[in-house]
């Protein structure tokens, strides 16, 4: 049974969500402040955290920033609907996904399952065990990536994106396919999360030794992991 940590100050909402997720086979724990949430996320044994941005005291972004210093616990952020900045900031800091609030519980469930499936690595059945493209070495089962022999810490989503791009290195991977295969949802026009994740991935991988960008954007088509 998956253990989910819900960090949201709306106690009634967390009660209802716990009930709903409980019926779907999740074990949920709800906390109502950022500080407490951060502590539990760091030390509790959870598979995933649902984190609201608007929290009294320490807000969701701060919690996530602190958490990312030591943990790669998958995080789904609940952002204010209609606020582009919030979701962009959330993804930048390292959230795995976001959901605008108020959300449809079925959507929440689908997102949670998608993230968890990714963490399990169950969607990589069709990938080779190991992919090496120039100085990048990716081992699927261990979910580890090294660049020039140095390990790079990626979130599970970034790992999956990189795996998908490396597997097709030198070819353009369509945004639609990345969205459906990695994020497990249809690409919607306003969804910038793919771009944000790719941008994070670029930062973490760094430039090639010759100073060129590893992942290129093909306008209104997709991304390509370039081969020298």
Partner 1 sequence: MKLFVKIFLWYLVAVAMMFGVMVFVTRTFQTEPAFSRWQRSARNQMAFYSATAEQIQAVGGDDALRTFLARLNENGTIRDVLVLQNDGTVLYGDPNFVGDFENVVAVARTTGETDIEVNGTDPALGATSLHFADGRPAMLAIRWEPPRTPSFFFDSWVGYMRLAALLLTAVIVCFALAWYLTSPLGKLRDATRRLAGGDLGARVARRVGRRRDEFADLAKDFDNMASRIESLIDSQQILTRDISHELRSPLARMNVALELAKKRSTPESTPLLERIENESNRLNEMISRILTLSRLESGTEDFSKTRLDLADLVRDIAADAEFEASGKGKSVVADAIDECSVKGNENLLRSAIDNVVRNAVRYTADATKVSVSLIKDNGHAILKVKDHGGGVPQNELENLFRPFYRVGEARERKTGGTGLGLAIAQRAVAVHGGEITAENVDGGLEVKIVLNTTSRNGN
How far apart are CB 87 and partner 1 at their closest, in Å?
11
Helices marked H in the chain: 11-23, 34-43, 60-68, 84-93, 105-120, 156-167, 175-178, 193-205
Least Å distance, CB 141 to partner 1, is 36
- Residue nearer to partner 1 on the CB measure, 70 or 85: 85
User: What's the chain's length in residues?
Assistant: 228
Q: Which is nearer to partner 1, 184 or 195 (CB)?
A: 195
Q: In angstroms, what is the minimal distance from the CB of 105 to partner 1? A: 4
State the minimum distance, in angstroms, from the CB of residue 176 to partner 1.
12
Question: If you write DSSP's letter for every residue of 20-49 in order, what string do you get?
Answer: HHHHTTEEEEEE-SHHHHHHHHHHS--SEE
Write out the residues near partner 1 by the rule CB under 8 A.
Answer: 10, 12-13, 16-17, 19-20, 23, 80-84, 100-106, 189-190, 219-220
* Alpha-carbon span 26 to 228, nearest angstrom: 46
The residue (of 83 and 120) whose beta carbon lies closer to partner 1 is: 83
At closest approach, how far in Å is the CB of 78 from partner 1? 9
Nearer to partner 1, 81 or 130 (CB): 81
DSSP assignment of 175-201 equals HHHHIIIII-S---TT--HHHHHHHHH
For partner 1, give the closer residue by CB, 48 or 145: 48
Residue found by looking up tokens 């449809």 in the block: 104
């Amino acid at each position: 049974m998956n253990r989910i940590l819900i960090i949201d100050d709306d106690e009634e909402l967390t009660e209802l969500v716990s009930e709903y997720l409980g019926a779907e086979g999740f074990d949920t724990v709800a906390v109502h402040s950022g500080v407490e949430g951060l502590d539990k996320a760091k030390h509790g044994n959870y598979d995933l955290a649902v984190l609201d941005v608007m929290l009294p005291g320490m807000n969701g972004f701060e919690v996530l920033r602190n958490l990312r210093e030591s943990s790669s616990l998958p995080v789904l952020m609940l952002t204010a609907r209609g606020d582009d900045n919030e979701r962009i900031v959330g993804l930048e800091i390292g959230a795995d996904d976001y959901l605008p609030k108020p959300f449809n519980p079925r959507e929440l469930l689908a997102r949670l399952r998608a993230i968890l499936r990714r963490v399990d690595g169950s969607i990589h059945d069709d990938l080779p065990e190991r992919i090496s493209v120039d100085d990048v070495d990716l081992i699927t089962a261990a979910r580890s990536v090294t660049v020039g022999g140095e390990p790079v810490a990626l979130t599970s989503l970034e790992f999956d994106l990189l795996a998908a791009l490396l597997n097709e290195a030198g070819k353009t991977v369509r945004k639609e396919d990345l969205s459906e295969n990695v994020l497990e949802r249809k690409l919607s026009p306003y969804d910038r999360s793919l771009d944000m994740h790719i941008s994070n991935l670029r930062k973490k991988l760094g430039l090639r030794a010759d100073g060129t960008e590893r992942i290129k954007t093909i306008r209104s088509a997709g991304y390509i992991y370039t081969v020298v």
